[in-house]
Structure 1
Amino acid sequence: MLRLKNLSKTFVMHIREGLEIQSFKGVSFETHAGSLLALTGPSGIGKSSLLKCIYRSYLPSSGQILYTTEKGDTVDLAAADDWEILNLRHTGIAYVSQFFHVMPRISALEILMEPLIIRGVSQNKALDRAKEMLSRAGLGKNLWEMYPATFSGGEKQRLNILHAIISKPRLLLLDEPTASLDRTYKERIMEMILALKTEGTAMIGVFHDRDALRVLSDKRYDLILGRYCPVEAEEAEPRRTI
């Protein structure tokens, strides 16, 4: 479903007289429907930046990101027009970031209903689905009509994940999805992610949580070594300095 070919990202610091900082270089891998590929490597190696390049929050410096659409067409996400990227986000690519930012004065229910309504789901069915997901993630009824700005960090992250998975995307990008969750809610979220895998969603994830890495991942790509490695063989590595 997704294939990266020799992808690189360099940041140019214009406030530092054009200083260039290499994030990652020459990354090539692929991922398939119903599997999760974990990206590993020390902090600062570019794991989150790589996910943002796939989602096109960042524009890669070189290389290709070849995504196969539901119709079987191949789109290079590194070169596609902005309107095409926005359309793909609405129809099949979702992203869970480490931080959750939403419009003010929009309730948790409305946030979860939005991606379903965009895909043509009726108001009533979207409402029922949103309530079901909130309940499964342990977000009580007292929060459903509340604004997420008032939520705790863990509550925001659970809503963040639900917003990405409620429409059952074809490709799901996960950046530390369980980092701020306690054990009970982490297990619930992992169950929901595993269920989505069984329905055919392809996933790429960044995890510092070893339990989540072990339970959720099918393959692992090490950004330092530039190759696939066994999931169980990951070792802690020191932070990279620039």
Structure 2
Amino acid sequence: MSGLFSLPRAEVAPGAVHVPGWLSLEEQRELVVVCREWARSPVPLRRTRLPGGGVMSVRSVCVGWHWEPYRYVRTADGVPVAEFPRWLGELGRRALVAAYQEDSAGAGYEPDMALVNFYDAQARMGMHQDREERSSAPVVSLSIGDSCVFRLGNTEGRGRPYTDVELGSGDLFVFGGESRFAFHGVPKVRPGTGDPATGLAGGRLNITLRETGLGREPANPPG
């Protein structure tokens, strides 16, 4: 659960910024409600199966575009994913202004895809890069519920050097610029640390906004 005093904004690496407690409790509750709607239809929350046969421990649902390893498509199992709402794009632009502390930081940012991951107590996310996008625009990450250890690495590989950051409910994390293609992951979730007032009884909800750069194209070509 969040403490009584908010931590200050911190630049973790060039272009990577942590803004603790950025989302109000009301905004968190609203996001939980809409994420539940996305998780039910048209393409429900699921565990993604990787090409090697493994299954991710997080459960995911996508909006705007559907991520499947390792490309974006418009449908999942032949069903179109939910449309990306305009208000979510506006939230992303406000997030960039808050992170980079420049009124112009959100100008031209047009996210068209949201990846929603739900972590239970056992879920983890291995070190990886977000490279399926054709745009190098920043990734905006929003956390609700249980806190976690977020590991931000380097752009060369999955190992050191890396920095561990504690992300709590309502926190904003943005990585762009030199850190846009840094490896990152979630090695640990801290069960029972979330505030039930968010509407999330347990677990961690993470929403990342991305600008795919794909426009109206039907799918991302293999690569």
Q: TM-score, normalised by structure 2?
A: 0.30
Kindly indicate which of the two structures has a greater share of residues assigned to strand.
2
Structure 1 or 2, whichever has the larger Rg, is 1
Kindly indicate which of the two structures has a greater share of residues assigned to helix.
1
